[in-house]
Amino acid sequence: MKKLTALTTAAIAAAALALTGCGGAANGTSSAGGAFPKAGATIEWVVPSAAGAGSDILARIVAPAMQEDLGANVKVVNKEGGSQIVGLSYVANAKPDGLTFGTTNVPSILGRYLDPSKKAGFTRNSFTPIGAYATNSVVIGVNKNSPYQDIQSLFEAVKASPGTIKAGTDSRAGDDHINLLLLEKELGLDFNIVHYNSGADKVAALVSGELDFSLGGVSSFFGQYKAGDLKLLAVVSDQPSPFAPDVPTLKGAGYQMAPMSSTFVLSVPAKTPADVVARLEAALKKAYENTAVQEKLKGAATQPAWLSSSDASKLWEERETTIKPVIEELLQQK
CA separation for the pair 235, 274 (Å, rounded): 38
Cβ atoms of 281 and 312 within 8 Å: the answer is no
Taking only the tens place, the pLDDT of each residue in 189-237 is 999 999 998 888 899 999 999 999 999 999 989 999 999 999 999 999 9
Backbone angles phi, psi at 16, to 5 degrees: -65, -40
Its domain, for residue 75, covers 6-133+263-333
Number of structural domains found in the chain: 2
Residue 25 has pLDDT above 80, yes or no: no
Report the CATH number at residue 37.
Answer: 3.40.190.150
Backbone angles phi, psi at 201, to 5 degrees: -65, -40
Taking only the tens place, the pLDDT of each residue in 101-148 is 999 999 989 989 998 888 899 999 999 999 999 999 999 999 999 999
**Of 209, 233, 261, at which residue does a domain stop?**
261
Taking only the tens place, the pLDDT of each residue in 269-325 is 999 999 999 999 999 999 999 999 999 999 999 999 999 999 999 999 999 998 898
User: Is position 223 within any domain?
Assistant: yes
Same domain for 122 and 85, yes or no, is yes
User: Is position 227 within any domain?
Assistant: yes
Residue 241 host element (H or E): none
Higher pLDDT, 277 or 33: 277
CA distances from 177 to 47, 82, 167, 248 (A): 21, 16, 9, 22
Report pLDDT for 38.
Answer: 95
Report the CATH number at residue 173.
Answer: 3.40.190.10
User: Is position 241 within any domain?
Assistant: yes
Report pLDDT for 333.
Answer: 65
Same domain for 267 and 302, yes or no, is yes
**Of 261, 285, 319, at which residue does a domain stop?**
261
CA separation for the pair 143, 30 (Å, rounded): 56
Report pLDDT for 197.
Answer: 81
The one-letter code for the residue type at 278 is A
CA separation for the pair 51, 296 (Å, rounded): 17
**Of 222, 237, 261, at which residue does a domain stop?**
261
